[in-house]
Amino acid sequence: MTQSRLALSAVLALSLSLPAAAAEADAQASYILTLGGINIAAMTVDLKDNGSQYSLDLNANVAGLGAVVASGTAKASSEGSSSGNSLVSQAFNLETRAKGETFSVDVSFAGRDVSAFKVEPPIMDNYDRVPLERSHLTGVSDFLSAFVLKGSGLDKSLCQRRVNIFTGVERFNIAMSYAGDDEATSPRTGYQGPVVLCTVDYDPVSGHFTTSDITNYLADSDRIVIWYAPLGETGYFIPYRVLLGTNMGDLSMVLTGMSF
C-alpha cells in the first residue's frame, strides 16, 4: 500500500465522522467533500438501529483532483452493539477501488479489542513504517463508529472526549475539545440551526510511515475542526461540517441532506 493511500485513510478517518441513530432508527446523511473549493467526492451514509444493534454503510464516489486525489469509489461498513452509552464495534469493512486497483480491510472486534484483521494487498513493513504492536489493538474503535456522539444536549460536553482508533492499517488517537457555539444558516446545506464547534488533535501511534507528509502535517496541525448538529430528537449528534486546513487548500466536508 502506498503512502498516498495511507494518507487518504488518515484523511478519511478525520473527515468521514459519520452519523448513527438511537433506538429503532433508520436514517441517511449525505455529504460533499471539497478541496480548495473544488468538489472531489460525494458520500451517503445509511444507518439502522434496532435498539441493541446498529449498522452503518457508507458509499462514496470520488471524482478525483489531478495527481492529488485519484478518482474511484469507496465502501465502508460497521456493525455492533448500540445498547450502551456509545457504539461498540463488532466488525468493520472497507473497500476502495481506484486506477484499476482494489484495496480492502476487514477487522473483527471483541468488546473494544481487535480479535482479527486482514488487509489485501498486505502492507509492506518498510523501514519507515512504525510497527503495530499487540498493545495498540486494545481499547479501540473503528473510524465509522468512533465519531458518533451521544449526549443529553447540544453543549460543550459533546466535545470533551478522547477516542482510540484502529483502521485496519493504522492506530491513532483523537482528542476533542470544545471551541464554541455557532449557528448553521446556509439554505444549501442539510441542516439549519445551532451547532457546537469542536477542535480535534490527531496523534499517530503506529502503522503509519514516519516520512508521510500528510501524517506529519495532521499531527502538527492546530486547524482540524468539526461542527456537530443534532440528529433530530434521537439524542445523537453528527457532523454538520468538517474542516482541515492543508497546504493544498481547505479540505471540507459539509452535510447536504439528512433524513430520519
User: Residues 215-236: pLDDT tens digits?
Assistant: 898 898 888 999 999 888 777 7
Q: Domain of 85?
A: 3-259
Report d(CA 93, CA 179) in Å as an integer: 32
3-state helix, strand, coil in the chain (%, to 5): 10, 55, 35
| Residue 34, strand partner residues | 39, 252
| Residue 70, strand partner residues | none
Report d(CA 223, CA 243) in Å as an integer: 8
Q: Is 168 helix (H, G, I), strand (E, B) or coil?
A: coil
Task: Name the pLDDT band for 128 (thresholds 50, 70, 90).
Answer: very high
Average pLDDT of the chain, as a whole number? 86
Largest CA distance in the chain: 50
For the residues 203-212, what does the mean pLDDT come to? 95
**pLDDT for the residue 24:** 64
Given a contact cutoff of 8 angstroms between Cβ atoms, the answer to whether 260 and 21 are in contact is yes
Backbone CA torsion sign across 22, 25, 48, 196: negative
34-60 confidence digits (pLDDT tens)? 988 888 899 998 878 888 888 989 999
160-169 confidence digits (pLDDT tens)? 989 999 999 9
Report d(CA 113, CA 163) in Å as an integer: 13
Output DSSP code: residue 124. P
How many separate domains does the chain show?
1
State the first-to-last Cα distance of the chain, in angstroms, to the nearest integer: 37
